Amino acid sequence: MARILLKDIFYLHTSSEAEGLRGYDLLIEENLVKKIDRNIDFVPSDGDRVIDCSRHVVVPGFVNTHHHFYQTLTRNIPAVQNAELFDWLVHLYEIWKGIDEDAVYYSSLLAMGELLKTGCTTSTDHHYLYPRNFSGDLMGLQFKAADTLGMRFSPTRGSMSLSRKDGGLPPDTVVQTEEEILEDSERVIAQYHDDSDLAMRKIVLAPCSPFSVTEDLMKKSVELARKHGVRLHTHVAETFDENDFCVEVYGRRPLKLMEDTGFIGEDVFYAHGIHFNDEELKVLAETGTHIAHCPSSNMRLGSGICRVTEMIPMNINVGLAVDGSASNDTSDMLGEIRNALLLQRVKYGAAAVTTRDVFKLATENGAKVLGFGRIGQLREGWAADLAVFDVHKLEYAGALSDPLGALIFSGYNHGTDYTIVNGRVAVEHGRLTGFPEEELTGKANEIAAGLLK
Ligand SMILES: [Zn+2]
């Protein structure tokens, strides 16, 4: 049985604690945290290892609740650096229609690599783009990438069925028929979904947005997901344009459309959720619907500020997400936690949310969003998913009166020393263990250049 002892850690016993605890050891056995205590008796045998954490802060691995991995290959494109969502999308669809199997595989490695290096151990991905010339098992390529790097992964089977000729936003070349979508959704659930608490693979169904799928596909996705007990995800209330589109085309605001299609409830999470009115917030609370908050993307596209500070006391479960890499344009999970804190304070003042609040969004709450049990907290018997940051560095010097808060208020590299997922070391001394980083960088740049041609 493989064991790892993290020696002399600083950590928070519960995520809301003000003070942390120093001088504890944490023992990992196989894929679980076996014990957290002072001076754990440990005689290493073959294959066991001890990691000295006396310079470090140890936190539960972060959970990323919304992403579009393939967009790592089209970040920072000058033509849309200053565009809002709809113009940004219309320009990028024309590039994205060229993605092939290599683009999917390497962009997945790239996005997950960045996530792991910045403390994230569990992620979803919302891949909704299936170009006509694409054949093969797209999600299988993503799982291959997740296995290679050692990430806990809950991808969504995304979809678009409403193209320009039918009044939607995307071009015909990147949408599929409802039959194709539903058949492949059923296939990936059967092939990959694992119901258990500590699954490494879970499936979610995710029609892209109100302006790229039909109402009928929303309803059928709901039926299929509930038949198989998998979660549902989509973009809701991201922009005023989306609101206008829904009122014009469906005669309803986006959330009403969700209610009418059954796309709401404890098994549903929406990306963004910015432009809800007071009544709609109550509906979210009553139905137990979750929000994946994406502060950097919302700032980048000028979309607005999600009402997180008001949602938390209403018991609306809010998780955190980096969003797709064409609108962030990074998968820096620790940086996202910092932005979540700062953005709420712009609207609600300096006491709006604390460092503990935003850590909770990125850990416990995120695990609830994606429906995982026993991840998101450092507890005996829970998943050995940990991010280990070295805070005895220049950028944290002078900030260690609160080592956990230092990770948010100070620092600029945001990289872990170690990231451990399901008991496996995925990042060691700040480098990925599963794939050579130089090769990945080169390959991603080559594919990105090809897409732009
Ligand atoms: Zn998105």
pLDDT tens track for 404-442: 999 999 999 999 999 999 999 999 999 999 999 999 999
Alpha carbon of 273 to ligand 1 centroid (Å): 11
What angle is formed at CA 419 by the lines to CA 403 and CA 269, rounded to 5 degrees? 90
Look at residue 25 in the predicted model and tell me its pLDDT: 96
Alpha carbon of 51 to ligand 1 centroid (Å): 37
The closest alpha carbon to 178, from 233, 133, 135, 216, belongs to 216
Alpha carbon of 226 to ligand 1 centroid (Å): 23
Residue matched to tokens 């919304």: 66
| Band (60; pLDDT cuts 50, 70, 90) | very high
Secondary structure of residue 258 in the 3-state scheme:
helix
Concatenate the DSSP letters of all residues of 136-196 into one string.
S-HHHHHHHHHHHHT-EEEEEEEE----GGGT-SS-GGG---HHHHHHHHHHHHHHH---S
Alpha carbon of 320 to ligand 1 centroid (Å): 12
Alpha carbon of 20 to ligand 1 centroid (Å): 35
| DSSP summary character for residue 197 | T
Alpha carbon of 89 to ligand 1 centroid (Å): 11
Alpha carbon of 324 to ligand 1 centroid (Å): 6
Alpha carbon of 49 to ligand 1 centroid (Å): 40
CA gap 114, 65 in Å, rounded: 15
Alpha carbon of 160 to ligand 1 centroid (Å): 13
Alpha carbon of 313 to ligand 1 centroid (Å): 25
The closest alpha carbon to 293, from 207, 358, 225, 385, belongs to 358
Alpha carbon of 301 to ligand 1 centroid (Å): 11
Alpha carbon of 35 to ligand 1 centroid (Å): 38
Amino acid occupying residue 125: D
Alpha carbon of 392 to ligand 1 centroid (Å): 36
pTM of the model: 0.97
Whether residue 11 has pLDDT greater than 90: no
Q: Convert the pLDDT of each residue in 75-134 to its tens digit.
A: 999 999 999 999 999 999 999 999 999 999 999 999 999 999 999 999 999 999 998 888
Q: Convert the pLDDT of each residue in 164-198 to its tens digit.
A: 999 899 999 999 999 999 999 999 999 999 999 99
**Cα torsion through 309, 312, 318, 320, rounded to 10:** 50
